């Protein structure tokens, strides 16, 4: 049976590529991989611009960047150990520190600017395209062929069942190929990944208003003409220049509201690009993991990785209360109707009832085998979700001293 066709015999992620970048900080791994010798000096990681040009223009060079380009102090770019990495034939120069681009004087500055670029809105608007290639629908099949994204067959999951290989020489060869030349990650998505919904900042003006990226910024999952149409629709909604539904040009549609609201005072959230910041509140010392606003719009409840719950009055513009719920991060918050109790899910697998009258935890429910990610309540039922991939339904039982009992599918399990 003929071997399936492929475009790239080298994988974009492999030990050799990782060690190519990190030879200066982990030379022992490179020496182990290459039988006690460094690679030829002209093939070493010598300069950012040179490596970029090779990847951009070389058909056989498909390496991706590694995390060190976006975090840390850039030591992997410096020959701090004064390793003897050889002399280049082309220039006669001894290989030392990596040559940086003119906009970075040090490795630390280079990494910091790379991280800043990575966090840019332009990257966020196009990140889903990379996801499609690595984890999504363009990884395998016809879509991968159209995207020129076809690698050596053995790098894909399920390409060979090693348990069925009886020849020890063949088995060793296959294992070495998989280990040394990289593996494609598990395919996670079968359909195009949606773009992140963002508003492009002025500092990232590389995306034109009529570009496909602008379509992504207004929530469109398509590109090209569809993206342009979405961008034009959003612009019309902001400017009050017609109906977003296409049902007439007299301004009667929801997208035509010039005051940010539609018929009956319903806000036109589809034109959210016209939102203006009202205020910024610093209520926690660490990342905020969940926030809920009361139905009357007067109170905001937030929880954080610092283990605290904060209650803020939007009406009065001040913090009403704050308290520590758990020694670990808390990840969900649910104010109850009595106005005195707040349910909080935490990374320690527990659900807490926080009593706002006393400013402390009043009760605790050990609910899951991993962090509690969400809590919801309907009548006498409590629904909790967790990182352990389970959703549990609990029933309030006054006969059992007001405790919660685990219920699933209407049958009480205890």
pLDDT (tens digit, 9 = 90+) per residue, 224-256? 333 333 333 333 333 333 333 333 333 333 333
Quickly state the pLDDT bin for 220 (edges 50, 70, 90): very low
Give the DSSP letter string of 293-327: E-TTSSEEEEEETTSEEEEEETTTTEEEEEEE--S
**Do 402 and 294 belong together in one domain?**
yes
Note whether 408 and 292 are same-domain residues: yes
Mark which of 210, 239, 273 sits at the end of a domain.
Answer: 273
Q: Tell whether 176 is covered by a domain.
A: no
Q: Is residue 342 part of a domain?
A: yes
What's the whole-number average pLDDT of the chain?
77
Q: Are residues 293 and 268 in the same domain?
A: no
Average pLDDT in the 176-204 region?
A: 74
- Assess if residue 210 is contained within a domain: yes
Task: Name the residue with higher pLDDT: 411 or 371.
Answer: 371
Whether 312 and 209 share a structural domain: no
In a domain, 189, yes or no: no
300 and 408 both lie in a single domain:
yes
Residue 124 domain-assigned (yes or no): no
Whole-number pLDDT of residue 271: 55
Q: Provide the 10 A C-beta neighbour count for residue 56.
A: 8
For residue 300, tell me if it sits in a domain. Answer: yes
Q: Is residue 329 part of a domain?
A: yes
Please say whether the dihedral angle defined by the alpha carbons of residues 242, 248, 250 and 256, taken in this order, is positive or negative. Answer: negative
Q: With bands split at pLDDT 50, 70 and 90, how would you rate the model's confidence at 399?
A: low
Task: Provide the 8-state DSSP code for 371.
Answer: -
* Of the ranges 88-92, 114-118, 120-124, the best mean pLDDT one: 114-118
Of 277, 250, 246, 272, whose CA–CA distance to 261 is shortest? 272
Q: Which tokens hold the place of 18?
A: 């990782």
246 and 324 in a single domain? The answer is no
In a shared domain, residues 238 and 339 = no
Q: Within 10 Å of residue 49's Cβ, how many Cβ atoms? A: 12
Q: 405 with 315, same domain? A: yes
Q: Which of 119, 137, 164 is the last residue of a domain?
A: 119
- Token code pair at residue 399: 């006969």
**Domain membership of residue 52 as a residue range:** 15-119
More confident site: 289 or 413: 289
* Domain identity same for 210 and 304: no
Q: What is the DSSP letter of 108?
A: H
pLDDT digits (tens, 9 = 90+) for 47-76: 999 999 998 888 778 888 999 999 989 999
Are residues 299 and 407 both part of a single domain?
A: yes
Residues 246 and 335 in one domain: no
What whole-number distance in Å separates Cα of residue 349 and Cα of residue 340?
23
Angstrom distance (rounded) from CA 271 to CA 386: 34
Q: Of 62, 96, 119, which residue sits at a domain end?
A: 119
Task: Please check whether residues 296 and 408 belong to one and the same domain.
Answer: yes
The CATH number of whichever domain residue 378 belongs to comes to 2.130.10.10
Q: How many domains does the structure of the chain reveal?
A: 3
Q: Does residue 184 fall inside a structural domain?
A: no
Query: CA torsion 172→177→178→180, rounded to 10°?
Result: 110
């Amino acid at each position: 049976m003929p071997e399936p066709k492929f475009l790239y015999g080298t994988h974009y992620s492999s030990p050799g590529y990782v060690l190519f970048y990190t030879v200066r900080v982990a030379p022992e791994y490179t020496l182990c991989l290459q039988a006690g010798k460094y690679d030829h000096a002209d093939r070493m990681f010598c300069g950012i611009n040179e490596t970029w040009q090779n990847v951009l223009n070389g058909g056989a060079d498909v390496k991706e960047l590694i995390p060190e380009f976006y975090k840390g102090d850039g030591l992997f770019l410096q020959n701090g150990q004064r390793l003897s990495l050889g002399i280049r034939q082309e220039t006669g120069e001894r290989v030392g520190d990596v040559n940086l681009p003119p906009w970075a004087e040090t490795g630390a500055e280079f990494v910091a600017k790379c991280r800043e670029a990575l966090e840019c809105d332009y990257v966020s608007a196009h990140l889903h395209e990379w996801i499609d290639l690595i984890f999504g629908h363009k990884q395998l099949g016809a879509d991968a062929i159209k995207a020129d994204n076809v690698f050596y067959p053995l790098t894909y999951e399920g390409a060979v069942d090693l348990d069925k290989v009886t020849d020890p020489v063949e088995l060793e060869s296959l294992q070495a190929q998989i280990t040394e030349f990289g593996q494609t990650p598990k395919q996670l998505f079968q359909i195009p990944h949606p773009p992140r919904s963002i508003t492009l900042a002025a500092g990232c003006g590389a995306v034109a208003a009529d570009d496909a990226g602008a379509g992504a910024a207004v929530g469109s999952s398509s590109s090209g003409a569809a993206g342009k149409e979405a961008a034009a629709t959003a612009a019309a909604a902001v400017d009050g220049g017609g109906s977003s539904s296409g049902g007439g040009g007299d301004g009667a549609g929801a997208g035509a509201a010039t005051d940010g609201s539609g018929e009956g005072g319903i806000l036109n959230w589809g034109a959210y690009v016209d939102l203006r910041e009202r205020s910024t509140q610093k209520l926690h010392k660490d990342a905020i993991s969940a926030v809920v606003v009361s139905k009357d719009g007067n109170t905001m409840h937030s929880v954080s990785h610092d283990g605290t719950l904060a209650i803020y009055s939007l009406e009065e513009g001040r913090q009403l209360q704050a308290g520590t719920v758990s020694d670990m991060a808390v990840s969900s918050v649910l104010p109850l109707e009595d106005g005195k109790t707040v349910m909080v899910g935490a990374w320690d697998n527990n659900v807490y009832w926080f009593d706002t009258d006393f400013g402390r935890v009043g009760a605790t429910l050990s609910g899951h085998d991993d962090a509690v990610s969400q809590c919801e309540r309907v009548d006498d039922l409590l629904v909790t979700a967790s990182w352990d991939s389970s959703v549990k339904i609990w029933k309030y039982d006054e006969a059992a001293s007001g405790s919660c009992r685990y219920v699933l599918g209407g049958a009480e399990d205890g």
